[in-house]
Structure formats: structure tokens, C-alpha cells
């Protein structure tokens, strides 16, 4: 596990929370954490090209993205279908779900995590004018939250930088 974390640490990017009420969570994080702005993405579908526990995914969520200084804060509200988010809510209620690392070599990072014995529980690609590859790994046995790996194309990275700068 130490080698995995040593390779990931420089690419720490995001903390993500599963919440039951997205607008209320946005307000709370703005007031308490000082996140200046959230950008909401509604009805994001985990479908074609996504796998949840080895089977085709079929879930819909609303997301909000903001930044607390250098760290992205993602808020996730599950809308429909089984997912790692509904699993989390059912088992633990709302709260910190995962930490994410934006890695420069996504395939190599995924292979490294799998070689370390970590199970991928949700993975796929989102393409909506920009490409985001993602893979979530179950780290519960290690006493840690889920770890998400992110691979951004140039357009997705530019979007994240604009969001961070507050120009979106």
C-alpha cells in the first residue's frame, strides 16, 4: 500500500461527499468551508461504457464541483439506480465518500492499483465534449475511504483549471 500512496500523493485532487440534498450541501460548504462557487451538473448518467461491480452501470446523479483553494470539492446526490453512492448512503448515511487523484498516466495508475490488490468497484469514461476516465477502488479493508483515479484529456483539464480560477 505504501508504494501506491507514494505514487498517488503528488496527484491529490479532490474530496467527494455523498449528500441527500445538493442545494443545502452547496450552501453549507460555501458557508463553512468557504468554497466560493459550485458548478452543478444535473442528471449525469453512469451508463454506456461504465461498469459497476463488474456489470454495466445504470445510475443517475447530480454533481456539484467547487474548489477549496487547491482541492476540488465534489458533492454527489444519487437520483436513480444502484451505485456506489447508494451503497454508501444505505450503509453509512451522508458523508465523505472518496478522495481522488488526477493522474497523468491513467492506465498505468489503474494497473498499479490492481497489482496492489485493490478492487475496482466502478469504472468507465465520460465523454461530453471532454473526456474523463475514472476508476474507483474499494479501500475499506485498509480502513480508508474509496480512492478514485481520474484521467483528464486536455479539454477536461482546462475546464477544471477554469473552475478553480472561478472563470466558469
**Quick one: the chain helix, strand, coil %, rounded to 5?**
35, 45, 25
pLDDT 10s digits, 75-112: 999 999 999 999 999 999 999 999 999 999 999 999 99
Domain tally, the chain:
1
The pLDDT value recorded for residue 141 is: 84
Tell me which residue has cell 437520483.
79
* pTM, two decimal places: 0.93
CATH number of the domain bearing residue 9: 3.10.180.10
pLDDT 10s digits, 12-29: 999 999 999 999 999 999
Residue 6: which domain range? 2-165
What distance in Å separates the CA atoms of residue 103 and residue 151, rounded to the nearest whole number? 6
Which residues neighbour 164 within 8 Å (Cβ) at sequence distance 6 or greater? 67, 70, 72
What's the burial of 45, exposed, middle or buried (CB within 10 Å: 0-12/13-18/19+)? middle
116, 1 contact by CB (below 8 A)? yes
Amino acid at each position: 500500500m505504501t508504494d501506491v500512496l507514494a505514487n498517488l500523493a503528488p496527484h491529490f485532487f479532490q474530496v467527494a461527499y455523498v449528500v441527500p440534498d445538493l442545494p443545502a450541501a452547496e450552501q453549507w460548504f460555501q458557508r463553512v468551508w468557504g468554497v466560493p462557487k459550485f458548478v452543478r451538473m444535473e442528471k449525469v448518467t453512469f451508463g454506456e461504457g461504465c461498469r459497476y461491480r463488474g456489470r454495466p452501470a445504470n445510475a443517475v446523479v447530480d454533481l456539484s464541483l467547487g474548489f477549496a483553494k487547491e482541492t476540488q470539492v465534489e458533492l454527489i446526490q444519487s437520483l436513480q439506480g444502484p451505485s456506489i453512492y447508494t451503497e454508501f448512503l444505505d450503509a453509512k448515511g451522508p458523508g465523505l465518500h472518496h478522495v481522488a487523484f488526477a493522474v497523468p498516466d491513467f492506465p498505468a495508475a489503474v494497473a498499479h492499483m490492481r497489482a496492489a490488490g485493490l478492487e475496482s468497484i466502478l469504472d468507465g469514461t465520460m465523454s461530453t465534449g471532454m473526456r474523463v476516465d475514472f476508476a474507483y477502488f474499494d479501500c475499506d479493508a485498509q480502513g480508508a475511504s474509496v480512492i478514485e483515479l481520474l484521467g483528464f484529456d486536455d479539454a477536461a483539464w482546462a475546464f477544471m483549471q477554469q473552475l478553480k480560477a472561478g472563470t466558469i
